[in-house]
Amino acid sequence: MYEEILPQIITTNDTKLLLLVLDGLGGTTNENGVTELEAANTPNMDALARAGSCGLHRPVGYGITPGSGPGHLGLFGYNPIKYQTGRGILEAFGVGMQVNPGDLAVRGNFATLKDDLIVDRRAGRIPTELCRKLVAKLREHIKQIEDVTVDIEAGKDYRFAVVFRGPDLSDKVSDADPQIVGKPPKPAEPLAPEAEKSARIVNKFIQMATEILADEHPANTVLLRGYATLPDIPKYEEKYKLRALGIASYPMYRGLAKLVGMDTPPVGETIDDEIALLREKWNDYDFFFVHIKKSDSYGEDGNFEGKVKIIEEVDAQLPQILDLAPDVIVITGDHATPSVLRAHSWHPVPLLMKGRYTFADDARKFSERECAKGILGHIPAEAIIMLMLADAGRLLKFGA
The least distance separating a second copy from the CB of residue 67, rounded to whole angstroms, comes to: 4
Closer residue to a second copy (CB): 62 or 193: 62
CA–centroid distance for 147 within its chain: 31
Closer residue to a second copy (CB): 200 or 369: 369
The least distance separating a second copy from the CB of residue 87, rounded to whole angstroms, comes to: 5
The least distance separating a second copy from the CB of residue 320, rounded to whole angstroms, comes to: 26
SS3 state of residue 271: helix
The least distance separating a second copy from the CB of residue 115, rounded to whole angstroms, comes to: 33
Closer residue to a second copy (CB): 131 or 383: 383
The least distance separating a second copy from the CB of residue 69, rounded to whole angstroms, comes to: 5
The least distance separating a second copy from the CB of residue 248, rounded to whole angstroms, comes to: 16
Q: Rounded to an integer, what distance in angstroms lies between the CA atom of residue 264 and that of residue 160?
A: 22
CA angle 9/80/66 to nearest 5° reads: 140
Closer residue to a second copy (CB): 64 or 324: 64
Closer residue to a second copy (CB): 142 or 244: 244
Asked if residues 107 and 225 have their Cβ atoms less than 8 Å apart, the reply is yes
CA angle 201/206/207 to nearest 5° reads: 95
Asked if residues 205 and 189 have their Cβ atoms less than 8 Å apart, the reply is no
With the C-alpha atoms ordered 344, 349, 350, 351, is the resulting torsion angle positive or negative?
Answer: positive
Closer residue to a second copy (CB): 285 or 346: 346
Torsion (CA) 385, 391, 393, 394 in degrees, nearest 10 = 0
Asked if residues 64 and 346 have their Cβ atoms less than 8 Å apart, the reply is yes
Chain residues that interact with a second copy, rule: CB under 8 A: 1-2, 4-5, 9, 28-29, 33, 35, 56, 60-70, 80-81, 84-85, 87, 90-91, 226, 338, 340-341, 343-348, 357-362, 368-369, 372-375, 377-380, 382-383, 385-390, 395-400
